[in-house]
């Protein structure tokens, strides 16, 4: 178990104990009713320990173990290690290891030179691996531990600590480093209210099920890494029979099933993979089923499932797959599908520019300079500006008090942010904010909402706001030039799938001299649009929003004998390109 990914030296001595006690106090006050007696005793007993004993326990709990040599323990803030160890052993937070089942746990605590000195007959000419093997073969495990001249200790209750971390963070991926980032001012977090009435782990059964899921996931990942298909297959019947009512737990379960099914595809057991996919309602289960059916020659069922997906897609990606795959499949097998569209989407607007290459500058910056030289204001914003405006405008919705979505003080947003329930549970507030944007009479109110939030919340963690890319001037210019109806349209698509649609935005925002704005994606030589970018551009065209792609080509330049590039040529548009349309196509209101 690792409590901190790193231990910064510029924090107050003993900072880690304060963080530890904060977590313990939080869990003790918010979850006392679902803790069992062993867990409660662990909490209360820790509070009764001396300051030095507490510090030593936290230190050991945060290090890679499971065993530690007493003669190697040294911390400047703990003057009497031996007394702290004795106190921890007496209070059952530390055990003195007397028996040995895995010899390697002992041997890895010693250097090769120590092994040679302490074990008679050990040959220093042997490699470390060979020496370890010789010791294991020569001495029984119970004898080895009695032959070393140091005491070995092991922290007790680390399984309980995992449970407390899960209750606090809501997951087992975050750790105490979150405290450090906050204390250093690197990642300050929004202040939101959480109490026992609004917690996710409302009953013990949800906690126990979540713990079991994490353990199951670890076991499955280990079997997959080992390629142990036989054991994995034996586990499946019991896994497929599991049923869950809580949506978050159900999603985790279906995500794991998809992972297992995909592995059986790689094992070339597509029948068994198909059987597993049938038990999952999470993407990409249906897509994989269609592909498996096609491999098996079941064309009609595959097309029928594509139609079902097309009519009730879980995402745009799934919708596009159903349409594209079914179109190709129907054409190959000369099957008529009335539900397929008769025409393809309009091509994405594209034009070319030619610039001098510069190995020290990104192609997006070169393109930005090109627009500036044409008289426009241009900013390289990528996925920062429009999602940032969204995060600022919907800040109060994102951090609204909803039961069970905030577990601890270190969240960039609610736990359901990237699930369909986020919009469903806040639909009324979302609709009201979108409606406000559609009436020009409310324009100043919308502007004030965003600029005021930028000022009040600057630096606070939010999944959509990248503060290092945003400035007050850029935001004010964007709000002046981008019609609120356009922003509302973009925000609506974001809300339709926050997980997938928060990326894929164009690289540049351009503000032509004549007014308006334009969204520009920059592609260098050999580069092409990614799928999520294509979806955004298709949407821009459907909604008549000013956006286009520029393809950058390198100008033909002369090279001196010493290899230096001559720069006496001016950046210009490629012959035939309409430079005026490149900078004047922005929408003006």
pLDDT band at residue 102 under the 50/70/90 scheme: confident
C-alpha to C-alpha distance for 259 and 223, rounded to whole angstroms: 12
E strand or H helix that includes residue 551: strand 547-554
- Number of other residues whose CB lies within 10 A of the CB of residue 166: 19
pLDDT band at residue 557 under the 50/70/90 scheme: low
State pLDDT tens for residues 225-239.
888 888 888 878 877
> What pLDDT does residue 283 have?
92
Cis-peptide, bond into residue 577, ω within 30° of zero: no
pLDDT band at residue 463 under the 50/70/90 scheme: very high
Greatest C-alpha distance within the chain: 91
> What pLDDT does residue 280 have?
92
DSSP string, 472-503: HHHHHHHHHHS-HHHHHHHHHHHHH-HHHHTS
Contacts of 121 (CB under 8 A, 6+ apart): 138
DSSP string, 102-149: -HHHHHTTS-HHHHHHHSTT--TTS-HHHHHHHHHHHS-HHHHGGGSS
> What pLDDT does residue 180 have?
61
Please calculate the CA angle 469-470-472 and round it to the nearest 5 degrees. 155
Half-sphere exposure of 377 (CA within 13 A, CB side): 12
C-alpha to C-alpha distance for 168 and 41, rounded to whole angstroms: 18
- Number of other residues whose CB lies within 10 A of the CB of residue 52: 20
pLDDT band at residue 143 under the 50/70/90 scheme: confident
CA 394 to chain centre: 21
Please say whether the beta carbons of 220 and 227 come within 8 A.
Answer: no
> What pLDDT does residue 564 have?
43
Q: Which tokens is 179 given?
A: 């405290």
Backbone angles phi, psi at 389, to 5 degrees: -60, -40
State pLDDT tens for residues 294-326.
999 999 999 999 999 999 999 889 999 999 999
Look at domain 198-332 and name its CATH class.
mainly alpha
Pair type for strands 94-96 and 152-155: antiparallel
Mean pLDDT of all residues belonging to the chain: 85
C-alpha R_g of the chain: 30
C-alpha to C-alpha distance for 162 and 411, rounded to whole angstroms: 19
pTM: 0.77
> What pLDDT does residue 397 have?
97
DSSP three-state, residue 82: helix
Q: Of 155, 148, 149, 144, which Cα lies nearest the Cα of 3?
A: 155
pLDDT greater than 80 at residue 6: no
559, β-bridge pairs: 565
State pLDDT tens for residues 509-547.
999 998 999 999 999 888 889 999 999 999 999 999 999
> What pLDDT does residue 221 have?
87
Name the H helices within 267-360: 270-277, 285-295, 299-311, 316-332
C-alpha to C-alpha distance for 534 and 317, rounded to whole angstroms: 11
Return the HEC string of 386-449: HHHHHHHHCHHHHCCCCCCCCCCCCCCCCCCCCCHHHHHHCHHHHHHHHHHHCCHHHHHHHHHH
pLDDT greater than 80 at residue 187: no
pLDDT band at residue 186 under the 50/70/90 scheme: low
Please calculate the CA angle 265-211-154 and round it to the nearest 5 degrees. 110
State pLDDT tens for residues 355-403.
888 888 999 999 999 999 999 999 999 899 999 999 999 999 999 988 8
State pLDDT tens for residues 406-445.
877 888 999 899 988 899 999 999 999 999 999 889 999 9
> What pLDDT does residue 106 have?
81
pLDDT band at residue 587 under the 50/70/90 scheme: low
Q: Of 94, 214, 220, which Cα lies nearest the Cα of 166?
A: 214
Contacts of 401 (CB under 8 A, 6+ apart): 192, 193, 198
Pair type for strands 547-554 and 350-355: parallel
pLDDT band at residue 338 under the 50/70/90 scheme: confident
> What pLDDT does residue 245 have?
75
Please say whether the beta carbons of 526 and 419 come within 8 A.
Answer: no
C-alpha to C-alpha distance for 236 and 267, rounded to whole angstroms: 15
C-alpha to C-alpha distance for 166 and 17, rounded to whole angstroms: 18
Q: Pinpoint the residues of the chain covered by CATH 1.25.40.10.
A: 198-332
pLDDT greater than 80 at residue 569: no
Please say whether the beta carbons of 498 and 386 come within 8 A.
Answer: no
pLDDT greater than 70 at residue 572: no
């Amino acid at each position: 178990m690792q409590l901190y990914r790193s231990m910064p030296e510029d924090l107050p001595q003993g900072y880690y104990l304060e963080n530890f006690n904060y977590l313990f106090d939080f869990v003790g006050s918010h979850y006392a009713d679902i803790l069992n007696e062993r867990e409660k005793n662990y909490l209360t007993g820790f509070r009764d320990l001396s300051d030095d004993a507490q510090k030593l326990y936290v230190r050991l709990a945060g290090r890679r173990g499971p065993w530690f040599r007493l003669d190697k323990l040294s911390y400047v803030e703990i003057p009497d290690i031996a007394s702290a160890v004795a106190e921890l052993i007496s209070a059952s937070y530390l055990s003195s290891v007397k028996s040995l089942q895995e010899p390697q746990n002992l041997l890895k605590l010693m250097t090769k030179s120590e092994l040679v000195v302490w074990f008679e007959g050990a040959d220093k000419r042997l490699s470390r691996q060979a020496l370890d093997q010789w010791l294991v073969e020569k001495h029984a495990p119970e004898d080895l531990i009695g032959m070393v001249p140091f005491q070995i200790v092991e922290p007790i209750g680390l399984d309980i600590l995992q449970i407390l971390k899960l209750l606090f963070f809501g997951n087992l991926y975050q750790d105490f480093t979150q405290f450090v980032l906050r204390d250093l001012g690197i990642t300050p977090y929004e202040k939101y209210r959480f109490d026992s009435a609004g917690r996710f782990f409302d009953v013990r059964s949800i906690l126990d099920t979540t713990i079991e899921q994490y353990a199951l996931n670890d076991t499955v990942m280990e079997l997959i890494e080992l390629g142990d298909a036989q054991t994995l297959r034996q586990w499946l019947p019991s896994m497929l029979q599991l049923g869950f009512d809580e949506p978050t737990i159900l999603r985790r379960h279906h995500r794991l099933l998809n992972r297992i099914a995909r592995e059986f595809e790689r094992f070339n057991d597509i029948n068994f993979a198909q059987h597993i996919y049938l038990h999952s309602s999470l993407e990409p289960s249906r897509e994989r089923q269609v592909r498996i059916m096609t491999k098996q020659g079941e064309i009609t069922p595959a097309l029928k499932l594509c139609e079902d997906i097309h009519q009730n897609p879980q995402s745009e990606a799934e919708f596009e797959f159903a349409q594209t795959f079914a179109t190709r499949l129907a054409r190959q097998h000369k099957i008529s599908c009335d539900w397929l569209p008769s025409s393809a989407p309009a091509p994405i607007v594209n034009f070319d520019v030619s610039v001098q290459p510069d190995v020290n500058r990104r192609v997006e910056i070169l393109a930005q300079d090109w627009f500036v030289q044409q008289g426009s204001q241009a900013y390289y914003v990528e996925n920062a500006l429009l999602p940032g405006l969204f995060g600022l405008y919907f800040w109060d919705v994102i951090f609204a008090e909803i039961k069970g979505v905030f577990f601890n003080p270190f969240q960039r947003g609610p736990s359901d942010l990237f699930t369909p329930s986020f919009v469903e549970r806040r639909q009324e507030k979302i609709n009201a904010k979108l409606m406000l944007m559609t009436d020009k009479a409310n324009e100043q109110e919308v502007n004030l909402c965003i600029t005021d939030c930028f000022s009040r919340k600057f630096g606070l963690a939010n999944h959509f706001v990248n503060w290092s890319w945003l400035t007050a001037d850029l935001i004010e210019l964007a709000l002046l030039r981008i019609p609120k109806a356009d922003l509302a349209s973009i925000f609506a698509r974001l809300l339709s799938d926050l997980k997938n649609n928060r990326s894929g935005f164009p690289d540049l925002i351009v503000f032509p001299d004549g007014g308006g704005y334009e969204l520009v994606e920059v592609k260098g030589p050999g580069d092409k649009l990614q799928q999520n970018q294509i979806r955004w551009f298709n949407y821009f065209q459907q909604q008549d929003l000013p956006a286009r792609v520029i393809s950058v080509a390198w100008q033909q330049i002369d090279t001196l004998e010493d290899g230096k590039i001559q720069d006496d040529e001016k950046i210009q548009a490629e012959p035939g390109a309409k430079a005026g349309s490149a900078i004047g196509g922005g929408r003006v209101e």
